[in-house]
Structure 1
């Protein structure tokens, strides 16, 4: 073990400290990705469970708004997102929202969000589906089918408000935006609004076939799991690299430690003339 005494020199102690710090950081990064993997797996499980469950009343999944007109209710609890719910009311086409630059099947178009006004005067935003733009480009306003009049029963999935809200504009009597940010949209509406919106699954009377249902994509949780393995492998390789370098240094030192030769002790050799 004497050949490993060099590990106690300042240089090698510094290398050890850097190695341990790097490996620790990589382990923490792996743990962080593991948490993200678990979180995304739970989201995927809720999506799958929502597809199988019978719809429940809206108020079982979302708290009713308690503020005045132009306000939004509380956001849904995490375990209520993607719950399948049913609710009955009347669509308000005068406050329809066109959500532009939305992609379905690699095509850019609009999602049509319409407030469903309930009997108590509150409303919930319903994403009725995707529709292609009119001829003339991806931003050309679509030709919309007539909104059902009278009482409508909706079955849909609870979708939390989108982040990164942009401007909300009213053009030709219709609201336009790029994000379905419920609190921001609520400011433009004459009634209190629930704190999440619904992705339409079914509707009575039936939805117009011009609409394409907005697909619900699963999160890529396996990508995060791959990052977990990657960071933990890097941590192991860092520690292995330190051990390999120390072993190589020890072998080099052992192979370059010649013993002094005592010339006087060597037997004399005679030379003949």
Structure 2
């Protein structure tokens, strides 16, 4: 950019304001974004490995013969156990709004007292909301040990009679005035009780995390290309990397009659 001519009344100074600091900030931001998406991809890869190990552990555990369980020790996760004790049918509760093959109903939860007096909660199966279940329950149930169920809820909803939106050991103890259940299981014994017994394998779905991983790493690659392109643009000629500003200063005028 050419400097304007001097008019004689003042001088013109060209000041170049570098934009390098702004460009460095943008490069740092892009680099941080690339590192973040790489880290998120690694996290999803670790989740996929964990879910696959969990699926393998489930398959190995469910193939083992059932254990006889009488005391309060926690059985291995996913292991089938035969319980010794008796049902507490009066404290049966229902998990409301549970879907089964597109139909909404309830899951029937009945506590079982072990021989040492401790309590476990058993999910006996699903039924339609208005259906009536049979009183037939296996005297010595065979159950599959599960993690406590976790269902999404915006806030804690108090039970309506025997209808619960969600269940935890503490909520059951508060409602039933019984000791807190030690663990949670699902009935696997064949029972003519009018309930649907869901014996399907849990959907661990490690492939879902693989998909998330590829998505994050795809974003990392795109960010890396953008970072390289932007970095090359910073090597353009300085005349393209600066902004010129004009500052005009007025020359001092000598007093009239001064011969100096």
TM-score normalised to structure 2 length: 0.71
Deviates more, 1:232-241 or 1:181-190: 181-190
- Corresponding residue for residue 36 of structure 2: 25
Indicate whether 1:63 and 2:73 are aligned: yes
Q: Matched residues in 1 for 2:201 and 2:157: separation? A: 22
Indicate whether 1:34 and 2:72 are aligned: no
- Corresponding residue for residue 116 of structure 1: 112
Q: Tell whether the 8 Å contact from 1:90 to 1:117 is kept in structure 2 after alignment.
A: yes
Q: Matched residues in 2 for 1:18 and 1:81: separation? A: 45
How far does the alpha carbon of each residue in 1:160-213 deviate from its partner, in whole angstroms, 9 at most, with x for none?
22345642343xxxx2212232221122335434322110111xxx41151111
Q: Tell whether the 8 Å contact from 1:40 to 1:221 is kept in structure 2 after alignment.
A: yes
Q: Tell whether the 8 Å contact from 1:50 to 1:157 is kept in structure 2 after alignment.
A: no
Q: Matched residues in 2 for 1:222 and 1:59: separation? A: 38
Q: Matched residues in 2 for 1:246 and 1:187: separation? A: 62
Indicate whether 1:244 and 2:229 are aligned: yes
TM-score normalised to structure 1 length: 0.68
Q: Matched residues in 2 for 1:143 and 1:169: separation? A: 19
| Per-residue deviation, 1:246 | 4.1
- Corresponding residue for residue 147 of structure 2: 160
Q: Matched residues in 1 for 2:180 and 2:68: separation? A: 16
Match of 2:194 among 180, 201, 210: 210
Q: Specify whether residues 131 and 222 from structure 1 end up closer, same or farther in structure 2 by C-alpha distance, changes over 3 A only.
A: same
Q: Matched residues in 1 for 2:160 and 2:77: separation? A: 28
Matched ranges for 1:42-81 at <5 A: 42-58=53-69, 63=73, 80-81=76-77
Q: Matched residues in 1 for 2:133 and 2:233: separation? A: 74
How far does the alpha carbon of each residue in 1:47-97 deviate from its partner, in whole angstroms, 9 at most, with x for none?
32232121123369x636xxxxxxxxxxx7xxx332222212221211111
Q: Specify whether residues 176 and 216 from structure 1 end up closer, same or farther in structure 2 by C-alpha distance, changes over 3 A only.
A: farther
Q: Matched residues in 2 for 1:160 and 1:90: separation? A: 22
Number of residue pairs matched by the alignment: 216
- Corresponding residue for residue 135 of structure 2: 146
- Corresponding residue for residue 101 of structure 2: 105
Choose between structure 1 and 2: higher helix proportion: 1
Give unmatched runs, 5+ long, in structure 2.
1-18, 241-260
Q: Tell whether the 8 Å contact from 1:122 to 1:194 is kept in structure 2 after alignment.
A: yes
Q: Secondary structure at the match of 1:98?
A: strand
Give unmatched runs, 5+ long, in structure 1.
1-7, 65-75, 135-141, 257-273
Q: Secondary structure at the match of 2:94?
A: strand
Q: Matched residues in 2 for 1:87 and 1:193: separation? A: 18
- Corresponding residue for residue 226 of structure 1: 211
Q: Matched residues in 1 for 2:86 and 2:149: separation? A: 24
Q: Matched residues in 2 for 1:192 and 1:209: separation? A: 27
Report the structure number with the largest CA radius of gyration: 2
Q: Tell whether the 8 Å contact from 2:70 to 2:115 is kept in structure 1 after alignment.
A: no
Q: Matched residues in 1 for 2:201 and 2:164: separation? A: 20
